[in-house]
Each structure stands twice: as structure tokens, then as C-alpha cells.
Structure 1
Amino acid sequence: MTNQPPHGGQQPQGFGPPPPQYAPSPQPPVPPGQASTGPEFLAVDRHSSIVVDEDGVTFEDHDVIAEFPWPEIRSVHYKPSPSGKALMMAVVHLDGRVYECVVAAKPREVLGQWFAQLAAVLGYYRPMGY
């Protein structure tokens, strides 16, 4: 299976590094009853949240939850909002659909910490790229 960009061959602009040429093999699931061994990322504001862990990526926006298991994800992209006050993340599904979530960073300095943590966690689960 090749990793084709969505939307007529164009890559979403401005969201993290480009995806790899081939999707990496998914991480094996954690057996029931066994503690998670991988790192986790969590960004939360009053209305939204983003979680990245061994299961995949989860967005919550005003109590609506969307879960994206790693085997269904083509790529993950992120960037600061134009104001520099929020984390914008996009998940590109294998079929090319793009899902987005925005989480406000308060104080603004938290955004830099989130980027450092997010890069490490995504690098762990998607070692060949996001």
C-alpha cells in the first residue's frame, strides 16, 4: 500500500513534517490487563482535547469524540494557530479524509511545551514520520 496524499495529490500545508513514503507497521496492541508502556500526549482546554497514545489519536470537541486507531491513520500533522495561542492538529485517514481539532494553550508558553512533547510521542509511535 502506498501513502498517497489526500486532495488530488497535494499535501496539507503547514502541518508538521510530511508523511513517510510508506506507512510504518502499526505497534502491537497492549494485552488486556497490562499497563501501557508507551508515552502519551494530552492537550486540554475548556472545550476540546487531543490525546495521542498507544491506541492512536483521539479528538474531543464539545463532548463529541473521534478516535483514530494507528492502523487507520495515514498521517498526523500539527501547527500553531495563526494567533499562536492554540495547537491545531489534523489526522489524515487512510481514505484521505482529514479531521482537525484545535486546543487553546493557556498560558501561551504551554504551546512550546506541547510541541516538544508531541514531537517525541509521535516519533515513538510513527518512527518513520508522522
Structure 2
Amino acid sequence: MEQRIGANSQPLEGAGFDPAFIPGLTAPASAEVKDAGPEDTRPEEAEGAEAAAEPVALTKAATDAETTVDEDAEDAEDTEEAAEGPVFEASDRRARIVADHQGVRLSLDEEKCEFRWDEIGAIETEAPRFGKRFTITVHTPDRRWYPIEIEATSRSRFKEWEEQLDAVLDAYFEDGDEEAENEAENEAETDADD
């Protein structure tokens, strides 16, 4: 009969004992490193693994370069198209808003959202009485709103930003009141013709 000396319990697992237990907290360990120990690796295999890794690294670098070129081309197209009309852009260290012919794009840290002009019900601005945080709120027709606060370098920027935003709204935003007026005029003309 075999007896063990010491504790008969299994080692504990969990976030309290292993930070890698929580997904996303640490980088996942690769299966190759876990399975292959130092005594299992032969020098010939190590050289082959390094040689095989070189083309992968070169392919990844080429893919990254192509992605950068594609992004630069898209940025160039955006700037060409943006030159057609007025553009409003305001940003600080965390938040950014861009309003142009495509619509309104908001970003805060890593989160981004984009609204086409037909998805926007109203845009509201608010300049605080004290402080330097300018608030822009995008309202959608389904009664949702998306506020973003931008910290200005000085309070004089508020007036400049409002003027730029008004110019963009006048150029691209179709107000529902104008459409209602046009429909009312068309109905009045058809009634007059009858």
C-alpha cells in the first residue's frame, strides 16, 4: 500500500492565484511554448523555427505597409471630398467631433460613432457659463441623444466653433421644418390649380 506524505489537495486555480485566469488581463501564452520545454528542443529544430518565422514576419510587415497605404489613400480621398464644402472639427486630448458632407463623427478615447445627415434629427450646442467644456449633442429621430464634451483652450473658441458648426449645418443639414413648408406650398399650389 502506497501512502503520500503531505497535503492531499489539488493546487487552487482562479483569479486570486493566477492573473492569466481572467481572459484579456494578460496576453495568452502560446501553445508551442507551453508544450515545448528546453530539453525537448534540439538546435536543428530551433534554427528551422527561426527560419520559418522570418517569412511570417516579412509577410506581416508587408501587410502592415499595405494597410498603411490604403489608410493614407482613404484619408487623401476624404480630404479631397471635404474640400467641397465647409467642415467643422474640434478636438481635445480625449474627444473629437468632425462634421462635414458625410455626416457627423464623434469619438471619445477609443469609442467612435458616425451619423449620416439623414440619421440626425437635431444638433444642440451648449457653452457653459463657467469652465471650458463645450458640449455638442447629436439627437436622432428615434429620441436618442449622443453628447460629447470638448475642452477648449480658451472660452473665445466657443463662438468660433458655433459659427463653424452653423455653417456646416446650413450647408448639409436638411431641417424637417423646411420640408414641411415645401409640402404645404405644394399642396397649396395643387389646391389653387383645382
Q: Choose between structure 1 and 2: higher helix proportion.
A: 2
2:134 matched residue in structure 1: 87
Q: Displacement, 1:128?
A: 3.7
Q: Displacement, 1:75?
A: 1.1
Q: Choose between structure 1 and 2: higher strand proportion.
A: 1
Which one has more relative contact order, counting CA pairs under 8 Å at least 6 apart? 1
Compared CA separation, residues 96 and 70, structure 1 to 2 (3 A): same
- Native 8 Å contact 1:86 1:111 kept in 2: no
Distance 1:35 1:50 in 2: 18
Distance 1:82 1:107 in 2: 13
Distance 2:101 2:160 in 1: 20
Q: Using the aligned pairs only, state the percent identity.
A: 33
Q: Displacement, 1:127?
A: 5.3
Equivalent of 2:122 in 49, 60, 75: 75
The Cα RMSD (Å) is 2.3
Q: Deviations over 1:89-124 (max 9, x none)?
A: 111112111111110110221122111111111111
Compared CA separation, residues 89 and 95, structure 1 to 2 (3 A): same
Q: Deviations over 1:11-43 (max 9, x none)?
A: xxxxxxxxxxxxxxxxxxxxx896331210000
Aligned-partner SS, 1:68: strand
Q: Structure 2: which amino acid aligns with 1:56?
A: G
Name which one, 1 or 2, has greater alpha-carbon Rg: 2
- Native 8 Å contact 1:88 1:100 kept in 2: yes
Unaligned runs of 5+ in 2: 1-76, 177-194
Q: TM-score, normalised by structure 2?
A: 0.46
1:35 matched residue in structure 2: 81
Aligned residues: 99
1:60 matched residue in structure 2: 107
Q: Structure 1: which amino acid aligns with 2:100?
A: D
Distance 1:35 1:102 in 2: 27
Q: Deviations over 1:64-107 (max 9, x none)?
A: 11111111111111111342412211111121111111101102
Q: TM-score, normalised by structure 1?
A: 0.67
Distance 1:97 1:90 in 2: 10
